[in-house]
Amino acid sequence: MTLLVTIERDGPVALVTLNRPEAMNALSRELRAQLAGVMKELDGDDRIRAVVLTGAGTRAFTAGLDLKELGVEGLGAANADKPAANPVKAIEQCRKPVIGAINGVAITGGFEVALACDVLIASENARFADTHARVGIMPGWGLSQKLSRMIGIARAKELSLSGNFLDAQTAAAWGLVNRVVPFDELIPAAKALAADMASADPVMIQAYKALIDDGYALPFGEGLALEHERSSARNRAVSGDEVEARRLAVMERGRSQKG
């Protein structure tokens, strides 16, 4: 079987690459299934603490669903994927931090895959576009709800109703991506951030990620209540000596990061 999704393990960090560069990493049925499987595999691998997701080549992170394949299968094919083969759901459900390294265009379904990641770092030639309205289909992987919450409803409408491309620098200014780096620095920057996250207690990182995600899906007051509930349960189990030891380690790490 052709590996349409590859994994490169580097200590606690896994680099996952969508590997159809000749087709702009388009999301064929097989690629979708392989990506979902890889994300579930890494979620269950205790050696891996953080994941970087990118696309092969210089042109595309992923250009979205494979339209040639959909022409045969019908436009509802991706929505009909079994839950086990839904790549966006698998990324969202991964308990480890997932950093999207956006190397090129992320279009429509590819935009939705990017939005499933926890953090986005973009190369200078990355671009984003939501062309659902132009091709006449509705998003089914969350874009219509996530994008407005990330960049504001007016900007989301501008992108989704026009189908226009958004360049990397504007995406950063709008809060869609965390930062923009030169193409050659993209993977090193994403892996460095992943390593920073992987250096913390994995149980704490997974619990904190879940708290952020679960609270974000709630009204603000309910999110605060959820934080109180979980922090009360967690913090009762932590000793003062543990906190002090970790505080000293944090201070030492801060001194080493100066400049």
Residues 193-221: pLDDT tens digits? 999 999 999 999 999 999 999 999 999 99
pLDDT at position 101, please? 98
CATH superfamily of 5-198: 2-enoyl-CoA Hydratase; Chain A, domain 1 (3.90.226.10)
Give domain limits for the chain.
Answer: 5-198, 218-256
Residue 88: both structure tokens together: 């966006």
CB-based contact 39:83 (threshold 8 Å) = no
CA 239, CA 72: separation in Å to the nearest integer? 60
Among 130-144, 167-181, 231-245, the range scoring the smallest mean pLDDT is 231-245
CA 37, CA 89: separation in Å to the nearest integer? 11
For the chain, percent helix, then strand, then coil, each to nearest 5? Answer: 50, 15, 30
Average pLDDT, the chain: 91
pLDDT at position 246, please? 65
> What is the average per-residue pLDDT within 172-192?
98
Cβ burial of 228 (10 Å; 0-12, 13-18, 19+) is exposed
Q: Which residues pair with 101 in a beta bridge?
A: 121
Give tens-digit pLDDT for 70-91: 654 555 555 556 667 899 999 9
